[in-house]
A and B are shown apart, each in its own frame.
Chain A
Amino acid sequence: MSDLGQYLVTEQAHLAMSNKRTVSGKYFAVNGKNVRMAVKTEWRDYDVIVVGSGGAGSQAAHAAAEEGARVLVVSKDPIGCSDTKISEGIATVRESGAEGDTEDALSENLRVAGGDLPVEAITNAFAEDSKQAYDRYRMLGLRPSIDTKRDTPQALPLPMGGHNKRRSVGHKNSGVAFSHANWNAVVQSDQIEYLEDAWFLELVTEDVADAEGAPQKRIVGGLLYDAARGLLVAVRAPSVVIAAGGLSTLYFPKTDTMRGNTGDSYAVAARAGADLVDMEQVQFLPFCLASPPAYEGLLCGEPMTASFLGVLRDKAGKVILDGVYLRTRAECSAAIMRAVEAGRGSPNGGAYLDMTANKQKPLSGPYFMRFLQGSLPSAYRNARQALGKVAAKCEEPWEVRPSAHYMMGGIRVDENGRSVGGAGAGEVANGITGLYAAGQAMGGVFGANRLGSTSLTEGAVFGARAGKAAAKGAAETTTKIDDAAFAPLIKQTAKCFGQKGTIAAAALKRELQHDAWDYIGPVRTAERIEKIDAKIKEWSGKLDQVAIPAYGTWNQAFIEFAELRNMLETAKLVTVAARERDGSLGGHVRLDCGEISAFSQPYSTIVNQDESGVPQVFRVERPRTPIKRLIAYKAQENWRKVQIKMLRMLPSAMQDKQLEKRYQAIMGVGGPAPEIMPGGVDGAIAEATKA
């Protein structure tokens, strides 16, 4: 996989294609231009640029417009197309399901789940705004079912695992219902202009002195590639909100997220000199499909849906993990990946999730099937379509493999999405003036673990907060923007069009994706981290050998190049943070170090880089949850281990009777299965954080 020589030169491939031409149809270009020429640059002025049109971006734009700002939304996907659109559409709304759901209860819930890595002011903001941010969505057309007794949106019947209260609201049409609202927000407003099919490439900054004369960086705008019109667009703006989503495409095809998650959020922020936090904390889901190719990476289950008798097996049929339903996601991923490491993995680099024992029980078997089909319907649908009828009936084991799902780390900001730097929770004065982040792009909300249904709310809460703050910040900026800061960037970018070379970016992307999985994926060691570090350096050095044709309109080679560059940058940030995190915590397992104890001093990793791209990393300590509470969690963890043992020791018929009772307790004799969702700790009902 490492011989770059094997890659086709883009120009050659293009030629080869022309040689195979069988028809020459009438071609038209949208703007009537199809001749080769240097890409032109268009200049624009706004108060606020918002990068991304998912939940965070659209809500930021909407809020900024409300404050009177003139906003430009830039989106590489068509407006609204995003992880938000393809999500399960379950959102956290405080007090939707239970009385006494105080702001403190929700805020602490988030922090404890996140291993005490989240920043308190940020989790407080989440708790404070979840209702009003959700109502902003409703004003834009999101219509949940209503709990008429309580006069609130209807919450799911059970607290989603990891949540200490019922407060997760599901929606018909899942994420698509959110995306209609987001689309309407951006398309409708007179204050908002937007460019879709437009790749935000770079933040433009300027060195200034703050009030005390200390050096500081401030945002003066951004540069983007408008693929639809074949232009570079230089935008002058004092505020930029980064809401461009996550990095899971770094692990493609082992991911269930949108193609556009190439780490652009983190890369552009890092290149501008911003701090990033908890960049080693990638969230992986253990039970995703490994084949057929069309379904690779998509979710097919959670630890909980494996139910009481589900086990994981290696290729020889040996049990590698039992009591799957009581395990955390990380434990399941680790078991699968350890088997793969030892050469005992399945053909596609996973393991087998064997639920046949559940199915075979005469009394409890039918309950199990109902539970499996009902609790995670879209995942079950994926499995049925991909694996076929026999597997769908759980008469044979499923081949499963972990997938990247969500990035818990991100741009280091305060509770209003403003870039911060320095010690502790950070200070705005040490951040980049005019830089904001929201949604998956930001860090500090979830730390080492994310509760189910919290990400859509994160986008709504911090999108609105960042949008407002960005509009205010822009209104307060009086200094004129100097175009000189843009010049070198424009020159450098324009030069890429027509760059001669021997390497295809798309191919190099694949290689990086392959190795990112092996070296900074769900399983890591110090040695692997060093390996990919060296490779990233080598690949980055080859970027100027990537072949890019000269034409401006939708130049896929340039797009691949720009994304590859961001993926390399992001991989570097993850690598540096992963090296600093000297133990297993949250989303990933270190094979060469122990588990990080909940009793030890929690810390977050902070990464930034200097002008030449050399990264630096440091730790900031976080306050720990009181010992008394932690001891209670530990006791619970031990209890689940005992439970697994006891159930295994029962004779088969007795086991069956017991299980029937348990299913009845969960969903009644004929009632619906409790809905759970991917992305939350609910898949790991015995997570130590479940108070």
Chain B
Amino acid sequence: MKVDIVTRRDGEEAVVAFEYEKRELREKPMALDVLLQAQATSMPDLAFRYGCRARNCGVCTIDINGKPRIACRSRVREGDRLAPMATLPVLADLVVRRDGIARQMHGRLANGAQGNDLNVDAPDVYHDLTACIECYACLDGCPMHARNFAGGLPGSMPDGEAQPDPAQGYKWGNPFSLLKLQRIRVDPLTTEAGQNAALANAIELGLDACVDCAGCKCGVGIDLMGQVVGQLLEAASGKLE
């Protein structure tokens, strides 16, 4: 089975047509199987992320034919194209730099609680949001996140404009950062001040982008529009420019 692997390193991009050798007659390999075999055979220093091989750790997301997919649980077909996620800057081959997202959340994660009784049940929605494995598939097509890159993708910055430095944390948010903030808001231990702060943070990160947006989709099926974006927009009504 032939699969195209996009590699980028040391300043050069190359697309390698990799021939996957099936290990069992009826094997339907996942994208990660292809990458592992490539690394074990003809491309020993191929760079890609993975961890659990079981859709739990959230680090193996790549673009398959232009759409973000969790590599360890996405089957590939003849002629598929495996490339790094387009929404974050590439470090090497299929590895993108992720930390600009986490760093933007520094200082925004407090719930204000102190000395509360911890024996309180959380509502279902809290657990629904906790299902997020931080795969960043939801960054795809998000206009708020795109603001970090002059409205486009990190790979196509307008001439003369510098990439934002991920080490400083991105200025503008994304569905994941909104999820983290909404999760704080629905935590039963969060104080009112904590809830307000979370909302203020969502606005600061660019919640207004959501107003006219067609919406985002979660890679593992969390209802981002219903349980995150919609809720935040409702709470922020009147507060958005």
Contact = CB atoms under 8 A, between A and B. Distances in A.
A402 interface: no
A658 interface: no
A143 B113 CA distance: 14
A20 B149 CA distance: 31
A197 B99 contact: yes
Interface string B93-126: 1010111001101111111010000111110001
> Which residue, of A17, A32, A257, A553, has the highest number of chain B Cβ atoms within 10 A?
A17
A553 B16 contact: no
A354 B103 CA distance: 50
A35 interface: yes
B11 A34 contact: yes
A143 B122 contact: yes
B44 A8 contact: yes
Interface string B207-220: 00000000000000
A258 B60 CA distance: 12
A173 B130 contact: yes
A555 B92 contact: yes
B57 A81 contact: yes
Contact of B39 (A30, A228, A506): A506
A175 interface: yes
Contacts, number: 221
A433 interface: no
B40 A294 contact: no
Contacts of B130: 143, 172-173, 176-177, 180
B12 A24 contact: yes
Interface in A231-261: 256-260
Interface in A131-160: 135, 138-139, 141, 143, 145-146, 151-153
Nearest to A260: B51
Interface in B26-60: 27-30, 32-33, 39-40, 42-47, 50-54, 56-59
A492 to B, nearest CB: 21
Interface of B: 7-17, 23-24, 27-30, 32-33, 39-40, 42-47, 50-54, 56-59, 72, 89-93, 95, 97-99, 102-103, 105-111, 113, 118-122, 126-127, 130-134, 154-157, 162-163, 166-167, 183, 187-188
15 contacts: A28-B154, A78-B98, A82-B57, A85-B56, A141-B183, A143-B120, A143-B127, A143-B188, A176-B56, A176-B131, A180-B132, A504-B45, A551-B10, A553-B92, A554-B9
Interface of A: 7-8, 10, 13-14, 16-18, 20-30, 32, 34-36, 77-82, 85-86, 135, 138-139, 141, 143, 145-146, 151-153, 172-177, 180, 183-184, 187-188, 190, 196-197, 227-229, 256-260, 291-295, 297-298, 382, 504-507, 510, 549, 551, 553-557, 560
User: Shortest 8 CB-CB distances between A and B: which pairs?
Assistant: A504-B44, A34-B11, A554-B92, A143-B122, A557-B45, A556-B47, A554-B91, A21-B14
